[in-house]
Amino acid sequence: MKHPRLKIVVVLAATLFILGGAAMVQSASATTQAAPAFKSSIHSIDATLKAQMVKSGSWKPADPIALGKLRLIEVSFWGFDGKVHTGKLIVNSTWAAKLCTVFHKLYDARFRIHHMQLIDNYGADDEKSMAADNTSGYNGRIVNGRPGVWSMHAYGLAVDINTVENPWVDGTDVSPANGRAYLDRKLVAPGMIHSGDVVVKAFQSIGWKWGGYWYGGKDYQHFSSNGK
């Protein structure tokens, strides 16, 4: 053989060309693979769901809102696993459709949400739901630490997003406790909410306000219709 080296180089080049081509095809198919379309739906509280809410205690007849004024919304969201999931949230009927538009914006921005399950899955226990990094809306409960004062969540007029990455903080008190790692709000991590970001803007687009803008103690997970 006159040019064995040349032959090796040619074979190598051809192999690389084929491999490169395959890689290009693969990356092209990955980039052209369209994300599933955002889906949302709004449902009345049916008998099964009512039974679940009464059993967990998230709704009681003495609570400040009738079940007829609440809606179950189901929305697509991007999970921390990079996959699309369907979340469930109970909210005030007045805001159900508008809140679906908020979650549509978060979906388009591929904002990551860890879990979005009804508070009933946590026995209507806000502490358990927060510690599990659950995103939730309605819960017939008082403001934590303020007996007799109904939370905006008890009217379906508040939503908490990624509670661990966005804890409530007042002085040295942090809730949930496992959210302490996210007290440094300069940190950038999936699921965190920052001033003026896509999450704050999405809620602002329907007139809802962020607890991260409160004076004194801050509730980085909390959005509500009246800012309380």
Binding site for Zn ion (CB under 5 A): 158, 160, 222
Query: Any idea which residue has 């896509």 for tokens?
Result: 198
Whether 75 contacts 39, CB under 8 Å: yes
Which of residues 38 and 57 has its CB atom nearest to Zn ion in the complex?
57
Shortest Å, Cβ 19 to Zn ion = 52
Which of residues 63 and 160 has its CB atom nearest to Zn ion in the complex?
160
Which of residues 41 and 226 has its CB atom nearest to Zn ion in the complex?
226
Which of residues 115 and 222 has its CB atom nearest to Zn ion in the complex?
222
Cα separation, 134 vs 165, in Å, equals 10
Shortest Å, Cβ 163 to Zn ion = 8
Residue nearest to Zn ion (CB): 222
Cα separation, 56 vs 214, in Å, equals 31
Which of residues 120 and 160 has its CB atom nearest to Zn ion in the complex?
160
Shortest Å, Cβ 158 to Zn ion = 5
Whether 166 contacts 179, CB under 8 Å: yes
Which of residues 107 and 223 has its CB atom nearest to Zn ion in the complex?
223
Whether 58 contacts 120, CB under 8 Å: yes
Shortest Å, Cβ 34 to Zn ion = 34
Shortest Å, Cβ 196 to Zn ion = 20
Shortest Å, Cβ 139 to Zn ion = 9
